[in-house]
Amino acid sequence: MCQEIVIIGGGIAGLSAASELARVRGTGRGILLLEAEEDVARHTSSRSAQQLIPGYGPAPVLELTRWSIDQILRAGEELAAPLAWPSAFVVAGRPEDVAAMTAPGMRSLNRDELVELCPELATNPERYPVAAIDDSAVRTDATALVAWHRARAEAAGVEIRTGARVVGLTPQDGGTWVLDVAGPGGTAAREEAAVRARTVVNAAGAWAEQIGALAGATPQELQPYRRTAALVTLAEPFAPEHPMVDDAAQDWYYRPDTVGAMISWGEAEPSDACNATPHEGAVASLAETLERETALRIAGTVKEWTGLRTSRPGDVPVCGWDAAAPGFFWLAGQGGYGFQTSSALARATAELVVQGRVGWWLSADTVEALRPAARDADVVLRCPTGTDGNPATGGAAL
């Protein structure tokens, strides 16, 4: 049996694409999602800061974020509990650093206004004289959003297969692909099965460049970066309306959490694709820094983790057909913007795969910025032979 679409990767990118592809096609039948781990969302998607910030990222990401937040809020209105809710974001520091981090739509805070919102910064006026706030930022329940996309996809007929690692991708005559899939047990003991597909969507996160190499696709310069965070308890809890706070020099950030606070170094250390874990002493060192620079007092650590944020040069995700590998679609490089761009990227993916172009809801500049890199000798493909794409439907093609 030949699948119409195989999605590689069961994080927020792959799951949201699956649910949106099913919606645009009118059915999820013929869509297969393959996840290497024993469950979906085991890596970066389970290690999110869960804050969606409209002023965070380059211009294309800002547009994707605004659209995604609107859709996530709308979706939550139909559920028993919301998927996202208002939660302000503050950038604090010296004037020149704050100015560099201030995006359109953010408003300035003077010292008194900052301390009223964030009293823990009152002890360090030299480091935090001013700030800027994004009142349109929201918190999201990442686990609930992942579960919503999965349920939506499976209800439409999408098949999700876990413990299925793609170890080979071979193009076939007639415009199809054969995917060699290994089950649990490692290389020596694995049982392999072949999956045939007309379209392959590469949503493999930190492993996306490796999947592209298996397919002979054009390299996208995707690089995973480590970022360490922890949930900690506080001697004095935050007020309910306390915003997320980012040091304008980008040294670290923190936000309220039900247990106390989530804290992060905010680092971007290059890494191989792996199940990353914190460096020894990293969280303890961060706790000491926070206590030195603010009035926060950390009582204990509940949980610590390291996620991999995979980016390409320019920090703009890649979403579109590969120029060298017909039928191979890139959906990767979301970096630290995965959840906050997921709905928009899922819709763009669905429209490109099914209809051949993105509708007018997304600007041509952003569509162009998302285009996969192509070698000089490559001819950019709009959609592969055998899809139900219709380039005459309007919008911008990739």
pLDDT at 239: 92
Residue 389: Cβ-neighbour burial (10 angstroms; 0-12, 13-18, 19+): buried
Residue (of 147, 186, 180) closest to 166 by Cα position: 180
Which sequence spans correspond to the domains of the chain?
2-47+143-222+314-393, 89-134+231-304
CATH of 2-47+143-222+314-393, one of 3.40.718.10, 1.10.1060.10, 3.50.50.60, 3.40.50.10190: 3.50.50.60
Q: Can you say how many angstroms the Cα of residue 127 is from the centroid of all Cα atoms in its chain?
A: 31
Q: Tokens 């997921």 correspond to what residue? A: 342
Distance, CA of 128 to CA of 68 (rounded, Å): 32
Q: Kindly tell me the number of DSSP H helices and DSSP E strands found in the chain.
A: 10, 20
Spatial distance between the Cα atoms of 329 and 312, rounded to a whole number of angstroms = 16
Nearest to 297 by CA among 260, 265, 243, 264: 260
What span, in angstroms and rounded, lies between the C-alpha atoms of 331 and 196? 20
Q: Under CATH, which architecture does the 89-134+231-304 domain have?
A: 2-Layer Sandwich (3.30)
Residues in a beta bridge with 228: 306
pLDDT, position 220 = 97
pLDDT given for residue 46 in this prediction: 52
Average pLDDT by stretches of 10, the chain with 398 residues: 94 96 97 92 64 90 95 91 93 96 92 97 96 94 92 97 95 93 60 83 97 97 96 94 93 92 95 95 96 96 94 96 97 92 97 96 97 71 43 44
Residue 307's nearest CA partner among 267, 343, 342, 280 is 267
Q: How many CB atoms lie within 10 A of CB 115?
A: 18
How far CA 396 is from CA of 202, 360, 364, 368, 383, in Å, comes to 21, 8, 6, 8, 12
Q: pLDDT at position 387, please?
A: 46
Using DSSP's 3-state secondary structure scheme, residue 339 falls into helix
